[in-house]
Amino acid sequence: MDVHQKSVCSDLSGKSSKAKNQKQDSQSQPSLYLKNAVFFGLFFSVVYFLLQQWREKIRTSTPLHVLTISEMAAVVSLIASFIYLMVFFGIGFILHPFSVLEEEYDEAVIEKYSDSCLAGVSPKLPPLAPKILVEKIAPAPVLLSMEDEEVVRAVVSGSIPSYSLESKLGDCKRAAAIRNKAVERVTGRSLEGLPMEGFDYDSILGQCCEMPIGFVQIPVGVAGPLLLDEMEYTVPMATTEGCLVASTNRGCKAIYVSGGASAIVLRDGMTRAPVVRFNSAKRASQLKFFLEDPQNFDSLSHTFNKSSRFARLQSIKANMAGKNLYIRFTCSTGDAMGMNMVSKGVQNVLDFLQIDYPDMDVIGISGNFCSDKKAAAVNWIEGRGKSVVCEAVIKEEVAKKVLKTSVESLVELNMLKNLTGSAMAGALGGFNAHASNIVSAIYLATGQDPAQNVESSHCMTMMEAVNDGKDLHISVTMPCIEVGTVGGGTQLASQSACLNLLGVKGASKDSPGANSRKLATIVAGSVLAGELSLMSAIAAGQLVKSHMKYNRSSKDVSKVAS
């Protein structure tokens, strides 16, 4: 028995001395220092590289989860170096399961032989620290396994944010239905009549509408055929106003039987105008002169165009207000409406200018000199988006038979109403009868930004007697038609179908921007038809009568039809 105890003691002392020797040897190895230096350098260099890459992505609005090969390699290196450093600094924590096993083994041996060999080494061993039992936290209930009613209650109570339903549930339609019920509970008001079924909620996630609770139904009618530039178009119009589609349709008929209309795009350029500030007006003027110097345009254009393969800088105009500088960039944007595209390009130029003008304080990426979604003289004079003129010659017999009026009456009414009357009202771009009616209806049908109806409806309607006073020359001049056939709401199923009806769906493969320009001419042609018909109704005294007939509900539809 004594021999056995001695052997155990000798084994323990041998193991202890062997472990100490191994520890001393490992510390004396110079390769360890080299290894630590390599992983330290790798960790911090990779972190710096990724921060620079992510900063660039945030600046250019590029999704952070889209990784290049170099970024993926950097992420792998970061994880590897992090694991090494964690092991190096916190080896007791990383190897905790193994250390627990070793402690349990050592305790058993110590307890067994405490009265023999170890007794001579230490009179009394210190008591072992009591083991701390960590209570495991129960995982939160999985949202996917919860019933809809449970989720609704959680949203109402605030424990689950309403905006996070799509990401937590992974089902956009279910999220919208739950949010719909939660809104009813919170407000105490019914949403009966707001439809939920029949809409693709996945298609709007992250791009068209946040926190949806349903969708609004707007009837879509068609006017036409509109004969424009020797091509026929059936024009979709989404509206809740009676008479609008019917009136536009009558104008299309008058244009068709008179030989059609023609349109020309004068300009095509989206704008964005940031506002920057300097310490003095003199310093601001230096940047103004630099931006407007033709010798600097190539370098600025190169910097701007890096934002997109379709963005092409066209011009830069800078205006001062004291020490503040408003810089209006204009660029082509292909078949997209282009607000995001031009904003990215402007941000690139601002970053480029910041190098030579470090004292430049960028107040805002938009300073309202653009000017977006507002009636502004700069848009009326210089244009924004597509600047279009559309014209047609309406024959005398068509004016009498189809429009029920005369050329003379139309010319006089246009002068006194659209021109003189609008001037009396101090109108800005509103020298027309109802251009915004047609613009809004087509915008809603084709997925355009309806708020841009404000400047897109800038229109001057002109009428003149030609061919010895027998025929009518009518034109609409619209300098700010802001449309696109890709991006935004154009990709939704209903709106995409309406674009397809016009033959301008998506991007043009042959000539970038051709589809959006064609859509702009269709808008102008439809406005021409709407102006012609409404002015004829007013001249003939039919406006009130037609609205009473078509813009009022009636239980007896047969009487309305008759």
Q: Which residue numbers are catalytic?
A: 241, 373, 449, 547
C-beta separation of 458 from 387 below 8 A? no
The residue with tokens 């601001």 is 284
Q: Say whether 274 sits in a helix, a strand or coil.
A: coil
Measured CA to CA, the distance from residue 533 to residue 531 in angstroms comes to 6
Q: How far apart are CA 306 and CA 312, in angstroms?
A: 9
Distances (CA, A) of 369 to 144, 222, 290, 301, 320: 48, 36, 19, 20, 11
b/e map 54-71, b = 16+ CB within 10 Å: eeebeeeeeeeeeeeeeb
Alpha carbon distance 113, 9 (integer Å): 8
Query: How many whole angstroms separate alpha carbon 509 and alpha carbon 537?
Result: 42
In order of 8, 16, 20, 411, 472, the CA distances from 13 in angstroms are 9, 5, 11, 115, 115
Structure tokens at 172: 């956009």
Q: What is the DSSP string of 193-253?
A: TS--TT--GGGGTTTT-SS--------EEEEEEEEETTEEEEEEEE-S-TTHHHHHHHHHH
Cβ-count burial 338-357 (b if 16+ within 10 Å, e if not): bbbbbbbbbbbbbebbeeeb
Torsion, Cα 520 521 527 532, to 10 degrees, reads 170
Round to whole Å and give the CA distance between 78 and 61: 24
- Candidates 421, 438, 537, 508; CA nearest to 478 is 438
- Give the count of beta carbons closer than 10 Å to the beta carbon of residue 171: 15
d(CA 458, CA 431): 8
Q: Token pair of 442, please?
A: 């087509």
Instruction: Show Cβ contacts of residue 408 under 8 Å, excluding neighbours closer than 6 positions.
Output: 465, 469
Residue 66 φ/ψ, nearest 5 degrees: -85, 110
Specify whether the CB–CB gap between 469 and 272 falls below 8 A.
no
Instruction: Report the distance separating Cα 242 and Cα 553, nearest Å.
Output: 10
Q: Are 551 and 242 in contact (CB under 8 A)?
A: yes
* Closest to 452 measured CA to CA, from 482, 492, 485, 495: 482
Query: CA-CA distance, 557 to 554, in Å (whole number)?
Result: 6
Three state DSSP letters for 351-395: HHHHHHCCCCEEEECCCCCCCCCCCCHHHHHHCCEEEEEEEEEEC
